[in-house]
A and B are shown apart, each in its own frame.
Chain A
Amino acid sequence: MGTKRMNASRRNFLKKSAALAGTILATSALAPFNAIIFAAGEPEDKTKIWYGIGIDIEKCIGCGMCAKACKSENNVPKEPFYYRSWVEQYTIKNDGSINVVSPNGGIDGFTQTVPEEELFKTFFVPKMCNHCAKSPCTQVCPVGATFESPEGITLVDKEYCIGCAYCIQACPYGCRYLHPVTKTADKCTLCYHRITKGLKPACVEVCPTGARIYGDLNDKEGELHKFLKEHNCQVLKPNLNTGSKLFYNGLSAEVR
Chain B
Amino acid sequence: MPVQLKTLIPLFAVFIILFLIARHFLIPDSFGKYGHYRANSIDEIAALPINYAGKAVCIDCHDTEAELLASDAHAGLSCEVCHGPNAKHADDYEIKEYLIKQGTREFCGRCHSLNPARKIEVINQIDIKEHHPEKENCIDCHNPHAVWELKE
Q: Do chains A and B touch in the complex (CB under 8 A)?
A: yes
A binding-site residues for B, Cβ under 8 Å: 58-59, 61-65, 69, 72-73, 75, 89-91, 109-112, 116, 119, 122-124, 144-150, 155, 157-160, 189, 192-194, 196-197, 199-200, 202, 205-206, 208-210
By a CB distance below 8 angstroms, the chain B residues around A158 are: 41
- Given A69-B85, A160-B28: A124 in contact with B37 (beta carbons within 8 A): no
Docked complex: B31-63 residues within 8 A CB-CB of A: 31, 34-38, 41-42, 44-52, 54-55
B95 within 8 A of A: no
How close is A116's CB to chain B, nearest CB, in angstroms?
6
Q: By the criterion CB–CB under 8 Å, are A73 and B47 in contact?
A: no
- Given A112-B115, A112-B117, A122-B117: A194 in contact with B41 (beta carbons within 8 A): no
- Can you give 12 A-B contacts (C-beta < 8 A)? A59-B119, A61-B111, A63-B111, A147-B36, A148-B35, A150-B34, A157-B41, A157-B44, A159-B38, A193-B46, A205-B52, A209-B122
Q: By the criterion CB–CB under 8 Å, are B111 and A208 in contact?
A: yes
Residue in A72, A111, A189 whose beta carbon sits within 8 Å of that of B51 in the complex: A72
Proximity bits, B115-152, A CB within 8 Å = 1, else 0? 11111001100000000000000000000000000000
How close is A140's CB to chain B, nearest CB, in angstroms?
13
Q: By the criterion CB–CB under 8 Å, are A64 and B115 in contact?
A: no
| Whole-angstrom CA separation of A69 from B50 in the bound complex | 11
